[in-house]
Structure 1
Amino acid sequence: MEGEMEGVPIILVVEDEEPLQEIVHDALKEGGFDLTTVASGQEAVAMVESGVVKYSALVTDVNLKGPMKGWEIARLIRQIDPAFPVVYMTGAAAEDWASEGVPNSVLLEKPFAPAQLVTAVSQLLNAGSPT
């Protein structure tokens, strides 16, 4: 069954608010991506660690209901894969990005246009792939 999804990047989305999950889902689908949405950082990190699915990028809300913030999720995933593309979404924590965010990440402030999300993910994926 290997290679069936070849060529379609799968984005790991961490978002615990359903309306936002839907916006992100629709935007990424329309942008030509597949995605898996989880509501907690622990789930997200476990999924990347398991290696069952090769995710192409992380899109995470910064402020989640669980104990883990988006900053921490991204750092843990970067320990697994130092070049992993990361897009943060936040309404209130933008000023913390400089100190908390991982290098070569993108921050989208809510409310953002769905197209901005697709552009951010695309730019990070293109930056990481050899031309």
Structure 2
Amino acid sequence: MAYQDEVGVKKTKAGTAGKYFEELYYMHNKAGRSRLWADLEVFEFEKDVYDSALISSSFDRVITQLEDISPFVENILIYQYVGLMSKPDSIAGAGHKRAEKLYVDYMRWFNKQRGLV
């Protein structure tokens, strides 16, 4: 089961969803269903929530989200990769320029975690 962190839709704030995932973690373990995943929202709305375009969030916010929920989940997915993270100069580029920045910032962090930089 993958629960959304709901940061992009502003139902929670980055750095606060972990308390919900901690409770879900304990409930899943109690029920004998320890596999818990998260669906991380890496977007924000350009203006009003649900009434404007989705744009990529900053990587600073994403790393806060990752650090907050990762102790309680086995895997983390993201909502709608296409258009929110886009490799620069890709022949299939999509989304706003912020999508390229989020991709670059994420890959820099990811490669550092793996000892590749």
TM-score (structure 2 length as normaliser): 0.40
Structure number with higher strand proportion: 1
Structure number with higher helix proportion: 1
TM-score (structure 1 length as normaliser): 0.37
